[in-house]
Amino acid sequence: MSIVKSLLAGVAVLGLVPVLAPTPAHADPALVFDLGGKFDKSFNEAAYRGAERWKAETGGTYKELEMQSEAQREQALRMLAQTGSNPIVTTGFAFGEVLNKVAPDYPDTRFVVIDTAVDQPNVQSVVFAEEQGSYLAGILAAMASESGTVSFIGGMDIPLIRKFECGFVQGVKATDAEARVIVNYTGTTPAAWNDPVKGAELTRAQKGQGSDIVYAAAGGTGIGVLQAAADEGMLAIGVDSNQNHMHPGQILTSMEKAVDNSVYEAFRLGVDTPPGVKLMDLASEGVRLSMDEHNAPLITDEMTAALEAATAAIVSGEIAVHDYMTDNACPVR
């Protein structure tokens, strides 16, 4: 009998019995990480930082879950919604399709999805203009390069990373039409996000082909890229978070995505988080280049002026950076 009881208790605790899960008056927010993502020193970790900042400032508590398998996405979202978490922030485009299924069943719960757009009345979609930030990184790379050859290392070969690549190449070519851009991807499986050794190898290979500036958009693999670039006397460009401090004086800049801010904002606004698409671009400072004391010696006045001019032109619409996602193609190579 006691076993049965404790089993039932376990089930109830897990919120697997919908009837036993009323919505509490005060709702805690929740943050859901994608498969194995939480501490990737990059995208997911930025989301975590945003949630921790909210926690430190408000003293509130939040729930967090990390996916273990594809089939669990729906399970996890339903569980959180049923136990009254609100809002529920999910990181990564893989949640898009699932939210289309789950969100209509919980109209009073606010969902936030980062990196893809979901058209539901209770979902906020946070999308970043990575092409704009990468364009600026390209300008900087072209100006800082002495060899006239720069390079890009992507993580897994997926559309999102091609968006980075395309923006970067456009920025380079706009500054120096003769410049050569070498592009490599780490792999075609999720392991490509966490392979610093291969990242370092690719960096050395690109150095061998004449590159002296390397831009890494590769999650945990980027750590190897930055390290190898520092060892080889190249300059590197970091991604997602400000990575300038990792090798001071040898990282030209970092292309920051304000993932932390969007999580923080959603947690702060709670159920009042407005639905619809929230575009994080240069104008809203959703993407930007990191400038701090670590890379100050590398940035000339000329570069600063060029960046300011390009930023103003992009914000005003004078320069339209092509977004790879619109037609699955990049105009320059």
Binding region for other proteins (CB under 8 A):
6-8, 10-11, 13-14, 16-17, 35-36, 65-66, 68-72, 74-76, 78-79, 93-94, 96-97, 115-116, 156-160, 162, 188-190, 325-328
CB nearer to other proteins: give 40 or 115.
115
Task: Find the Cα–Cα–Cα–Cα dihedral 317, 333, 166, 43, rounded to 10°.
Answer: -150
Nearest approach in angstroms of CB 93 to other proteins is 4
Least distance from other proteins to the Cβ atom of residue 293, Å: 35
Nearest distance in Å: CB 268, other proteins: 26
Residue whose CB is less far from other proteins, 97 or 308:
97
Q: Which residue's CB is nearer to other proteins, number 174 or number 183?
A: 183
Q: Interior CA angle at 181 toward 177 and 183, to 5°?
A: 150
Alpha-carbon distance of 64 to 71, in angstroms, equals: 18
- The C-alpha angle 158, 162, 165, rounded to 5 degrees, equals 145
How many other C-beta atoms can be found within 10 angstroms of the C-beta atom of residue 251? 23
65/139 with CB nearer other proteins: 65
Which residues are within 8 A (CB) of 89 and not within 5 positions of it... i.e. 6 or more apart? 29, 30, 31, 32, 47, 51, 111, 112, 114, 263, 266, 267
Nearest approach, Cβ of residue 163 and other proteins (Å)? 8
> CB neighbours of 304 closer than 8 A, spacing ≥ 6?
none
Residue 292 CA from chain centroid, whole number: 20
Cβ nearer to other proteins, comparing 299 with 325: 325
Q: Residue 156 Cβ, how far from other proteins at the closest point, in Å?
A: 8
